[in-house]
């Protein structure tokens, strides 16, 4: 489907912005969802346009993901000047030219480490009795994936996990597409996007994402910024495209005005 005229006009309005930050979610936005997160790769046309944007004058690119940075680097294979925010804002990296080699990794205290182990054990028990579900371990969290399970099994697993974990002090639970994110730190993509804006001193920001967790980033967009929701669902974004297949056209449209 062709991009709507309102979106095209909004992008054209960014033509004369002094410095534009183009920040993208990865899974479900740049890359299709796959059964194994490690197998995810960006659509070739999206990856190519994103790389060209990173080389455009007065334009900076970034990836803002729920993945930890190691997983994001392995799947996205970003160029050396692409800023990275992982673990929903908990991990941040910027190249030396922009931030003096900013590298914020996650360090847990003893209580957080104990809690993370406990949560992992609970989710392992749930996965053992719900075929098709899997657990993904991150530096500061554990994720229950139910994409490969039968719908009724997946729903049961998510409910069981939330019931057993929701009262644990110090644990943050977040719903995503066929996942339950369990984190022992407080971080969100809104804070991650604000950090990106500050690091590059951006005059305007484009952010595109598909998931519930991306709403925190849409919520911090300012007048003159542009938010694009990928696919269906309620959103704070000002614009929407039908799905991941429209992302290459979106990136090419931005490239055309930069």
Active site residues: 25
Radius of gyration of the chain (CA): 18
- Give the Cα separation of 126 and 132 in Å (integer): 11
Q: What is the DSSP string of 52-85?
A: HHHHSTTEEEEEE-SS-HHHHHHHH---TT-EEE
Residue 141: closest CA among 166, 119, 110: 119
Tokens at 1, concatenated: 């489907």
201: helix, strand or coil = coil
Q: Which helix (H) or strand (E) is 126 found in, with range?
A: helix 110-128
Measured CA angle at 105 (ends 101, 110), to 5 deg: 150
Q: What six digits make up the tokens of 253?
A: 């449209």
Nearest CA to 223 among 13, 65, 24?
Answer: 13
Task: Report which secondary-structure segment, H or E, holds 200.
Answer: helix 189-200
């Amino acid at each position: 489907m062709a991009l709507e005229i309102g979106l095209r006009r909004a992008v054209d309005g960014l033509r004369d912005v002094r410095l534009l930050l183009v920040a993208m979610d990865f899974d479900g936005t740049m890359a299709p969802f796959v059964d194994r997160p490690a197998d995810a790769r960006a659509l070739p046309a999206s990856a190519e346009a994103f790389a060209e944007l990173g080389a455009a004058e007065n334009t900076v690119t970034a990836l803002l993901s729920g993945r930890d940075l190691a997983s994001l680097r392995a799947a996205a294979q970003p160029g050396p000047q692409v800023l990275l925010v992982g673990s929903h804002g908990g991990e941040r990296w910027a190249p030396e030219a922009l931030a003096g080699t900013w590298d914020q990794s996650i360090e847990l205290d003893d209580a957080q480490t104990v809690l993370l182990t406990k949560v992992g054990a609970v989710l392992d028990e749930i996965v053992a009795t719900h075929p098709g579900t899997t657990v993904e371990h991150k530096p500061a969290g554990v994720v229950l994936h139910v994409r490969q399970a039968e719908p009724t099994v997946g729903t049961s697993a998510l409910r069981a996990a939330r019931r057993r974990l929701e009262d644990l002090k110090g644990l943050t639970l977040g719903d995503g597409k066929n996942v339950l994110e369990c984190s022992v730190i407080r971080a969100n993509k809104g804070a991650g996007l604000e950090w990106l804006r500050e690091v590059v001193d951006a005059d305007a920001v484009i952010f595109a994402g598909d998931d519930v967790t991306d709403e925190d980033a849409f919520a911090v967009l300012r007048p003159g910024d542009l938010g694009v929701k990928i696919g269906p669902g309620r959103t704070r974004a000002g614009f929407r495209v039908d799905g991941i297949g429209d992302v290459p056209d979106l990136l090419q449209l931005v490239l055309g005005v930069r």
